[in-house]
Amino acid sequence: MTIAIARPLVLREPLAAPSSRCDRIALIDADGTIVGVNDNWMALAEQTGATLSRVGFGANYLDICRRAAPSSSNAREALHGIRGVLKGKLKSFVQDYSCDSLSDPNYFRMSVTPICYADARAVITHTDITELWLSKEQSLKNLRQYTRRLINAQEEERERIAREIHDDLGSRIALLSFSVSRLMTQRSRHSVPVVDELKETIDNLTELSEALRNLSHCLHPPLLRHTGICAALKALCEEFSRSHSIEIDAVIPEEVAPFSDEAALCIFRVAQESLHNVAKHAGPTRVTVSLERTLREVRLRVADTGRGFVPSGTTRASGLGLINMKERALCVRGHLEVRSAPGAGTEVRVSIPVSARKSVTV
């Protein structure tokens, strides 16, 4: 037998599982109407400037969520979750959200649990998790800083190796090629087969020198520092197209408004890794590489018409390249998105906010 409540029910003790003293608790009936609240619920309403007639006894919590839904994804998610609990489709619902109405940043965890208490059919609990959330944010911040330092150290090591390849090995190969050429000029002392063999040796040395030069540029692109991101991307596309016989449509302006060296390096590395993935996985394809600079951000898009893949499965199994690209983007406050499906090609998009602050060279 259901006992209706004729007056507002103020809860002094929680009726559900034991919870924190700071929990804000409300009971709602099957239609979403609030039939009971505790003191902390009313205190939160006063703190956020909400009138009790809007969020207190007799108000409809589903209507509260509906009014906020057009401008709040959290409200839409909450509305869906509460409905699911009331209709028995969900055993419970939990959602974390931030409260902007308070003077300081505050974070709460809303949980919705079925209950049978008088007219009440669900208990809604808001628990303050600000300290937990800020601790999590600090941990993530520390992790990003560590990742950033690791990437910077990696780039410094790449630059060092590239410099040694160019200055040391490149010079040695050039000297060896010169010595072989000098021997070839002494034709009278050598038979024709020997001369032909020396010519082949010079050709091999030339190819080796070219391969080392390309490796040096891949490790640390000199064009990026000396001529800018546009020239570096165009050179990357030309070299990729020549090496892999894949047609590239490079939609890259002659120059763009300057932005930080870190952002430029991120754009280049994402393009480089994306093209590497195209050559390795895409199969017969055409590629489009585009760069755009707006007032607020710089955007890179690399798309192919290849065989495609399932992004989530690749990331879990062997997609370290995708993880690395996303981490690079996060380190410069950017966002990277990968869209792909089997047989539908692949598209990589990265957008990085730009500002007038001084760039950081890596």
Question: Domain 221-362 is in which class?
Answer: alpha beta
For 356, counting Cβ atoms within 10 Å of its Cβ (0-12 exposed, 13-18 middle, 19+ buried), the class is exposed
Domain residue limits, the chain:
16-128, 131-220, 221-362
Predicted local confidence at residue 73, as pLDDT: 85
Report the alpha-carbon angle 297-302-306, nearest 5.
160
Asked if residues 56 and 30 have their Cβ atoms less than 8 Å apart, the reply is no
Which tens digit of pLDDT belongs to each residue from 83-101?
Answer: 999 999 999 999 988 876 5
306-318 pLDDT, tens digit each: 888 877 655 444 4
Average pLDDT rounded to a whole number, residues 208-220: 63
Look up the pTM and report it: 0.49
Q: In this predicted model, what pLDDT tens digit does every residue of 255-307 receive, in sequence order?
A: 999 888 889 988 998 998 899 889 888 787 889 999 999 989 999 999 999 88
Is 16-128's fold the same as 221-362's? Answer: no
Beta-carbon count within 10 A of 91 CB: 9
Strand partners, 291: 300
User: Residue 44 is encoded by which pair of tokens?
Assistant: 């939160």
Predicted pLDDT at 15: 41
- Looking at domain 16-128, its CATH class is alpha beta
pLDDT at 153: 65
Are the beta carbons of 24 and 38 closer than 8 angstroms?
Answer: yes
Cβ 124 vs Cβ 112: under 8 Å = yes
